[in-house]
Amino acid sequence: VIDIEDSMIHTMFEEQVEKTPEAIAVVCEDEELTYRELDERSNQLAHYLQKNGVTCESLVGICVTRSSEMIVGLLGIMKAGGAYVPIDPAYPESRLQYILEDAQIKVLVTQEKLQQKMVIPTFVNVICIDRNRAEIEQEVTTVCTSEVTGDNLAYIIYT
């Protein structure tokens, strides 16, 4: 039995990793990730995000296509202590600009093919989860510690 009030999304995920590390967690087109693989990739991204300034309750934009990278990104942001702000890649440029500026996004996780189509303000640190993969994979796969608690933001959704 889990006391949901004291649990966080990423810690509940980590508990599942311990129970079924080799079970399939994500299937996207022809790619499958086990819970262990998803955990390790999201831990690496979390460490990378922290090195790039993400701390507790940092608002981190995420603009990626539906893919395993989306799941890695969401978990990685939360593990780093940040709160994710999803941005639909289909949004018009004006909507993207509004969200980045209104939420004061300092870090944006995206994909190279999407970044090439966007005009991103200079105050935003862009991390392309695919282009920066080699750097991200240099990070350790162990759990990333942060000061985040169940009382902190997990996400902000613009409607």
| pTM listed for this prediction | 0.90
**Fold of the domain spanning 4-136:** Rossmann fold (3.40.50)
Tell me: the pLDDT tens digits for 71-101?
999 999 999 999 999 999 999 999 999 999 9
Q: Where are the domains of the chain?
A: 4-136
Dihedral sign for Cα atoms in the order 9, 15, 16, 21: positive
**Strand ranges in 10-89 using DSSP code E only, listed in sequence order:** 24-28, 31-34, 59-63, 83-86
CB atoms inside a 10 Å sphere around CB 145: 12
Structure-token pair, residue 105: 């996004």
HSE-CB at 113 with a 13 A cutoff on CA atoms is 5
* pLDDT by 10s per residue, the chain, length 159: 555 556 777 888 888 889 999 999 999 988 999 999 999 999 999 999 999 999 998 999 999 999 999 999 999 999 999 999 999 999 999 999 999 999 999 999 999 999 998 989 999 999 999 999 999 999 999 988 888 887 889 999 999
